[in-house]
Amino acid sequence: MDFSPTEEQLMVQKSARDFALREVAPRAKELDKKGIWPADLVQRMAELGFLGMAIPSEHNGGGLDAVSYALALEEISAACASTGVIMSVNNSLYCDPVYKFGTDWQKKEFLDPYASGEKLGCFGLTEPMSGSDAATMATFAERDGDHYVINGSKNWITNGPFANCIVLFAMTTKGIGHKGATAILVPLDAQGVTRNHHDDKLGIRGAHSCTIFFENVRVPVTHCLGGEGNGFKVAMATLDGGRIGIAAQALGIARAAFEKSVAYSKERKSFGVPIAQHQAIQFKLADMATEIDAARLLIWRAAYLKDKGVRHSAESAMAKLFASEMASRVAHQAIQVFGGYGYSTEFDVERHYRDARITEIYEGTSEIQRIVIAANALKG
Ligand code: CAA
């Protein structure tokens, strides 16, 4: 068993780390404090090839594997979790399903300019009254000749305020549960689409999300992604990949909180010595380091299976469940190491603590991950 990344994976990691340290980290505090969308960093990620990393180069992507993607996302999220999730949504939740399920025409129209980062995509599954129980979505796409007429709304749509297109999930048949759901590519400049102001959130405050309303939006049936009635499976298969991205984001947040705790513990003195010399602090650092490594191994395994083309629903769910809850625990302990200063907005650890929290909720709550893992275990 070889746990060492390849030369290529290490190069990707290094280029992401350089970009994260030089360009992303210096901006993170301000983006968070003022809730600013990092338009310039999104542009830079496009230039550097971080917005369509695992899409083949013939579609303007980076042609890299899922492990490289996870490595890059960890680095960028360690600097700024908001920038990390913007990258994650375009890669995992938008480009990935269009690549996997799209027709040649759809790929030309709805993948190539998105994998290059010229345009930005988003993913619309959640609704005001349908979150974990995704199959209860109410947005309806009624067939009218060779068009769908879409009515409904989607909320918490990360990248929503700036995205050019959404992979929208809507019911095309009522009364048959998840088998009535269809994925449709909806350009967000279509008539009848309106977007609310962006959501004001506890964390990832630079990654803007919003509610999007669809009122009699007409879209040709050629925009149907993956076949009518297959929308639920498109969503679930997409989330299998997306959850690796969120796990990598959580890992980055945790690593940042840990590294800052290590540095601070060597500087800050109490009872006449640096606090790093107290076993109370050493034990915290030991637990943090162990949990971070455990999460990383779960993420690498899930990404490795994705690269092999093996179904990885349970492994992605385990990676996301453990990494997200771990990030909250690690950020909590980081504040404890920093003491009163950790509670102050002067230091970064309170931002990491707030940013970590969402990773336990979006792309499937921890409870949903446990359902997926248990269902897999009980299948025998
Ligand atoms: N891949 C392919 N197909 C899958 C699948 C997968 N991973 N998981 C399930 N399916 C298929 C099943 O085979 C089944 O197909 P058949 O009917 O042909 O047998 C069908 O889908 C239904 O499966 P289940 O019976 O397992 O579905 P369920 O309704 O019992 O449970 C759930 C599903 C796990 C609870 C699911 O609804 C779920 O994951 N909910 C959470 C939704 C979620 O993650 N939302 C996040 C929104 S995105 C977001 O947060 C974006 C952002 O801004 C960052």
Query: Which residue CA neighbors atom 1 of ligand 1 most closely?
Result: 237
Q: Which residue has the higher pLDDT, 257 or 380?
A: 257
Q: Give yes or no on whether 121-231 and 232-378 have one common fold.
A: no
Instruction: Give the residue-averaged pLDDT of 192-207.
Output: 98
The pTM (predicted TM-score) of the whole model is 0.98
Atom of ligand 1 nearest to the CA of 88: 54
All residues at 6 or more sequence positions from 204 whose CB lies less than 8 Å from its CB, including other chains: 81, 82, 85, 355, 358
pLDDT score at 151:
98
Confidence of residue 2 (pLDDT cuts 50, 70, 90): confident
Instruction: Give the residue-averaged pLDDT of 362-378.
Output: 98
Q: Judge whether residue 161 has pLDDT over 80.
A: yes
Per-residue pLDDT tens digits for 207-252:
999 999 999 999 999 999 999 999 999 999 999 999 999 999 999 9
Instruction: Give the residue-averaged pLDDT of 267-280.
Output: 98
Tell me the CA–centroid distance for residue 234 and ligand 1, in Å. 9
Mean per-residue pLDDT over the chain, rounded? 98
Which residues sit with their C-beta closer than 6 Å to ligand 1?
89, 93, 123, 125-126, 132, 134-135, 156, 158, 178, 209, 232-233, 236-237, 239-240, 313, 362-364, 368, 371-372
For the domain with range 7-115, which CATH number is right: 1.25.40.10, 2.30.30.20, 1.10.540.10, 1.20.120.790?
A: 1.10.540.10
Confidence of residue 1 (pLDDT cuts 50, 70, 90): confident
Q: 188 is written with which tokens?
A: 């967000």
Tell me the CA–centroid distance for residue 232 and ligand 1, in Å. 6
* Contact indicator for 241, 317 with CB cutoff of 8 Å: no
Instruction: Give the residue-averaged pLDDT of 174-202.
Output: 98
- What is the rounded CA–CA span in Å between residue 108 and residue 90? 16
Report how far apart the first and last C-alpha atoms of the chain are (Å, whole number): 25
For the domain with range 232-378, which CATH number is right: 1.10.357.10, 1.10.3720.10, 1.20.140.10, 3.20.190.10?
A: 1.20.140.10
Instruction: Give the residue-averaged pLDDT of 19-23.
Output: 98
Per-residue pLDDT tens digits for 92-102:
999 999 999 99
Which residue in the list 7, 315, 363, 367 is annotated as catalytic?
Answer: 363
CATH architecture classification, 121-231: Beta Barrel (2.40)
Instruction: Give the residue-averaged pLDDT of 284-292.
Output: 98
Query: Which residue CA neighbors atom 43 of ligand 1 most closely?
Result: 364
Atom of ligand 1 nearest to the CA of 85: 54
Per-residue pLDDT tens digits for 25-73:
999 999 999 999 999 999 999 999 999 999 999 999 999 999 999 999 9
Tell me the CA–centroid distance for residue 8 and ligand 1, in Å. 33
pLDDT score at 284:
98
Q: Judge whether residue 380 has pLDDT over 80.
A: no
Q: What percent of the chain has pLDDT over 90?
A: 99
Per-residue pLDDT tens digits for 75-92:
999 999 999 999 999 999
Atom of ligand 1 nearest to the CA of 134: 37
363 belongs to the catalytic site = yes
pLDDT score at 3:
87
| Domains of the chain, residue spans | 7-115, 121-231, 232-378
Per-residue pLDDT tens digits for 313-341:
999 999 999 999 999 999 999 999 999 99
Tell me the CA–centroid distance for residue 15 and ligand 1, in Å. 34
